[in-house]
A = this chain, B = another copy of it.
Amino acid sequence: MVGVVVWLTGLPGSGKTTIGRIVQEELRSRGYRVELLDGDWVRATINVEAGFTREERRKHLLRVAWIARLLARNEVIVLCSFVSPYRDVRAEVRRIVSEETPFSEVYVKCSLEEAMRRDPKGLYRKALRGEIKNFTGISDPYEEPENPDLVIDTEATSPEEAAETLKNHVLNLIKQR
């Protein structure tokens, strides 16, 4: 058994954490060690005061990259669910992790219109009212992945179907080793 870091990137509300949670539960029930790291967890634990400027997001994500690498080299499947909107920062993340463990970038794809319609935490509404600064999709850019290892379109599929696709991808990554 070898660990792997699967990095889910996509707009807020695209479904990253939702499908990550389903996969975590299914793989755990099959006996795998799995961790899901997401922004809510990180901001509640190792990065309490993190902001959302470009540089703060960058430092935040590089920290996560190191932690994911540390877990993965101890045979944990690490699902990282982060908007991670900047291409160059995602490339840095990949560099850090893949020095030691397998890394896979998954683009959880969803149109801005649909993500705004879902708005599970009410954050788009707040951002549109100007109550949140640097909000991806509204007042901060999302740079689409150019060569993701997998694209999961969450507009065309149900969360369960999307999770099935992700789960199979993870299992393939592990088998390849």
Binding site for B on A (CB under 8 A): 33, 35, 45-48, 59, 62-63, 66-67, 70-71, 74-76
Contact = CB atoms under 8 A, between A and B. Distances in A.
Contacts of A75: 33, 74
Contact of A67 (B33, B70, B76): B70
B63 A46 contact: yes
A41 to B, nearest CB: 9
Contact of A70 (B35, B59, B62, B63): B35
A119 B63 CA distance: 30
A15 to B, nearest CB: 24
21 contacts: A33-B74, A33-B75, A35-B70, A35-B74, A45-B63, A45-B66, A46-B46, A46-B62, A46-B63, A46-B66, A46-B67, A47-B63, A48-B59, A67-B67, A67-B70, A70-B71, A71-B71, A71-B74, A74-B74, A74-B75, A74-B76
Contacts of A48: 59
A142 B59 CA distance: 30
A103 to B, nearest CB: 16
